[in-house]
Structure 1
Amino acid sequence: MFRPLEFFIGLRYTRAKRRNHFISFISLVSILGIAVGVTALITVISVMNGFDQELKSRILGMVAHATVEGIDESVHGWQQAIERVETNPHVLGAAPYVEREAMLQGGRVSGAIIRGVLPDYEPKVSEIDRKMKEGKLDDLVAGGFRIVLGSELAMKLGVGVGDFVTVITPEVSTSPVGVQPRFKRFKVSGIFEVGMQEYDGAMAVVHMQDAETLYRLDGPSGIRLRLDDMFLAYSVARDLSGQLGQSYMVSDWMQGHSNFFKAIAMEKKVMFLILSLIVAVAAFNLVSTLVMLVTDKQADIAILRTLGQSPRSIMGVFMVQGVLVGTLGIFLGVGFGVLLSLNLTAIVRWIEHTFGVAFLSADVYYISELPSDLQWSDVSWITLTAFLFCILATLYPAWRAARIDPAAALRYE
């Protein structure tokens, strides 16, 4: 079987027992260092991917991927508008809504966003029906003046299912006794919890017709859309804007939350760079390993040179050895990193249960479990980065080996 000479000699050097056992120890440290660095990098990036996906699912479970609004205060002919937008192949569902600010009074007072929805349409664009802790979204009926509160908002108000809250709007009504604020009493029919304070602590849901009556509107505020790919929201919104005409405005979720997800993406990049330094430090342990090996093998190098092996070939021998040691560390690191990332949630849960600790307390954090989302593209980039570090670490020792003078090396042999 044909094998290049450099690979053959480098492999023999890797497998051979060392006269200086300290070199073997440093090689082992280099392998373990690279393995630990790659494992940490894969695990941390997977955890950041997990948080990113978890936050996206929670935020976009309540936020529409795209929104169609009228130039006027209300959208007229929303049924026809829904029929037109649903002809777009990327639109999975559409639902009308009313959204206004209000003050809610129960046992206590708190501000909130009132969202009027149609229970038959809303599940097409949000997950609120699957986030109900008490009651059902279908309990909202036109004219029933029932309200569904976020879990934290219900706690602020000191109310539960079956209690009544008074919704006070910013608008006022003129009556014979003077100007009075407009208000209506609603019965709490359900409580939802999506895991985001923005919604659990400041949102209430009513039937769209009741919201129109309360705010004296003659139609919904707009139409919320769910797409097959949320990252196509901008292009789909642009297409729909041209399709619907000048009487409608179309916006996408990125306009309201893009900075948040850009910050997460930036943190992921920064963590990748920082943790790559750990891999770099471990990889550059190969420098000391190979430098000592070159010193130990000076006589062998001199003999190979006298037999006609070129300096480039000598350089290749030690690069092969360094790359083989680095590849072993990378292989171990990828294996442990993938296994840890795939089982991280279960491992953390077991540690919490066994030792009675809570890494992410549900009383403080809205994500109480450590999420992990392993993406093979990240594993590939990490593997490639670590491999490049290993190659760079072999250049100087290999270059030093190629410059050894055979006569000087054999003088005292």
Structure 2
Amino acid sequence: MFRPLFVFIGTRYTRAKRRNHFVSFISLTSMIGLALGVVVMIVVLSVMNGFDHEMRTRVLGMVPHATIVGDQPITDWQSLAAKVQQNPKVEAVAPFTQMQGLLTHDGNVQKVLLNAIDPVQERKVSIIDHFMQEGQLDSLTPGSFGIIIGDKAAKALGVGVGDKLTFVAPEVSVTPAGMFPRMKRFTVQGIFHVGAGEIDGYLGLTNLQDLARMQRWKPDQVQGLRLKFGDLFEAPRGAWEIAQHLGDSYYARDWTRTHGNLYQAIRMEKAMIGLLLLLIVAVAAFNIISTLVMVVNDKKGDIAILRTLGATPGTIMAIFMVQGTVIGVVGTAIGAVVGILAALNVSAAISALESLIGHKFLNADVYFIDYLPSQLQAQDVLMVCGAALVLSFLATLYPAWRAARTQPAQALRYE
């Protein structure tokens, strides 16, 4: 197969030579360094994508995209929900009532945000059904005073399905005997595990009518409506528009106020870490400069002979650009393959390592999830490989330019 002269010579220079193995070793290390840089970038960006995805699907699938709350308990929430759903951005609406307090059992105490729901409507706006370990959401029937809690809270309280626990409300009841805290016995009807410490430890679910009775409301009264948007990034503006349309007695709250800082931090960290890791790839690419400079010094005699045979400076320059580009292409290709395989298996590998050494790298008390997620995206792989190839090509320009300036007479003087 026909190959241009500069391609033929440039590719031959990348292979080992009996005369100078050291130059070939430097070429190999440059190639390996570039491959490692590409691997690290692909894996880290995939992990950051995983955190971003888990934040959007798991955490924001459990917490409301937005809520509409009234100044007073809402009696006819169905008609209010019908008005809200006239907004085309809203996919589903469900009623809710919240109350903070403490759960106690056998001397164990755990703070809780008790979220009263309608099990049928809640499925439209939440993905809680996907994470039930024991029990069912439908068990939260009116009058049963059942509660569903996270596995972390269940472990802290030492309870299981069927056990009784006491909810202590942050209010007191005045009696002739004095003031006593308001308490109510609940039965554990289910346990869920989302993987987010904030949710698994401090969220409890009960029936709307049961919590309304504790609030001394009418059975059909609720605190507000939970909204699910087709695009969660439409929630801030969409919820504000809905509240404005409903009147001054309603106000909106969206996920950016509760988890927005965490989400923005993940996006910013991905950008900054990607930039810093790109510098690693740049260092590996610039190693090609030192490799080609050594090759040029080693091949001065060959360059002089080629020039005397009629090779132009452009041909000489192209020879060494081909050699550097081959190093970059091979290193990038190896790094891309290994990086893709590593990104697809890093979650399982870290999980196996945690089981082996008995240590949890991601603690749900510190991070919003307790496992290492990874989501490989084609655009990240293309971006990393493209950046590595561009940097590798730029690294070939100066050594190739130096080779083209070699004077045949001076190079052959001591040959």
- Alignment TM class, shorter chain as reference: 0.7 to 0.9
Q: Cα distance, 1:362 vs. partner?
A: 8.8
For residues 11-30 of structure 1, what are the structure 2 equivalents within 5 Å? Answer: 11=11, 13-14=13-14, 17=17, 19-30=19-30
Task: Report what 1:193 is aligned to.
Answer: 193
SS at match of 2:357: coil
* Corresponding pairs, count: 410
Of the three residues 332, 341, 344, the one matched with 1:342 is 344
Q: Cα distance, 1:402 vs. partner?
A: 2.8
Distance 1:299 1:158, change over 3 A: closer
Distance 1:410 1:238, change over 3 A: farther
Please tell me whether the aligned partners of residues 169 and 215 of structure 1 are also in contact (alpha carbons under 8 angstroms).
no
Query: Which whole-Å deviations, capped at 9, do the CAs of 1:171-213 have from their partners, x for residues lacking one?
Result: 3344454544333222222222222221222222111111111
Q: Cα distance, 1:385 vs. partner?
A: 1.9
Task: Report what 2:249 is aligned to.
Answer: 247
Distance of 1:312 and 1:81 partners within structure 2: 76
Task: Report what 2:300 is aligned to.
Answer: 298
SS at match of 1:74: strand
Determine whether 1:264 maps to 2:266: yes
Q: What amino acid is aligned across from residue 54 of structure 2 in structure 1?
A: E
Determine whether 1:84 maps to 2:83: yes
Q: What runs of 5+ residues in structure 2 fail to find an aligned partner? A: none
SS at match of 2:74: coil
Query: Which whole-Å deviations, capped at 9, do the CAs of 1:128-172 have from their partners, x for residues lacking one?
Result: 233222222111111222222222323333333323223222233
Please tell me whether the aligned partners of residues 15 and 24 of structure 2 are also in contact (alpha carbons under 8 angstroms).
no
Q: Cα distance, 1:249 vs. partner?
A: 2.0
Task: Report what 1:169 is aligned to.
Answer: 169
Q: What amino acid is aligned across from residue 300 of structure 2 in structure 1?
A: Q
Of the three residues 330, 333, 341, the one matched with 1:328 is 330
Distance of 2:2 and 2:251 partners within structure 1: 69
Task: Report what 2:406 is aligned to.
Answer: 404
Query: Which whole-Å deviations, capped at 9, do the CAs of 1:211-250 have from their partners, x for residues lacking one?
Result: 1111124522211122233233234334434443433222
Task: Report what 1:74 is aligned to.
Answer: 73
Please tell me whether the aligned partners of residues 237 and 252 of structure 1 are also in contact (alpha carbons under 8 angstroms).
yes
Q: Cα distance, 1:334 vs. partner?
A: 0.6
Distance of 1:348 and 1:187 partners within structure 2: 37
Percent of matched pairs sharing the same residue: 49
SS at match of 1:121: helix
SS at match of 2:271: helix
Distance of 1:362 and 1:321 partners within structure 2: 44
Q: What amino acid is aligned across from residue 332 of structure 1 in structure 2?
A: I
Determine whether 1:148 maps to 2:138: no
Distance of 2:27 and 2:373 partners within structure 1: 35
**CA RMSD across the alignment:** 2.9
Query: Which whole-Å deviations, capped at 9, do the CAs of 1:272-316 have from their partners, x for residues lacking one?
Result: 233333322322221122111111222343345456655455333
Distance of 2:193 and 2:27 partners within structure 1: 53
Determine whether 1:206 maps to 2:206: yes
Q: What amino acid is aligned across from residue 389 of structure 1 in structure 2?
A: L
Distance of 1:325 and 1:362 partners within structure 2: 38
Distance 1:306 1:235, change over 3 A: farther
Distance of 1:154 and 1:217 partners within structure 2: 29
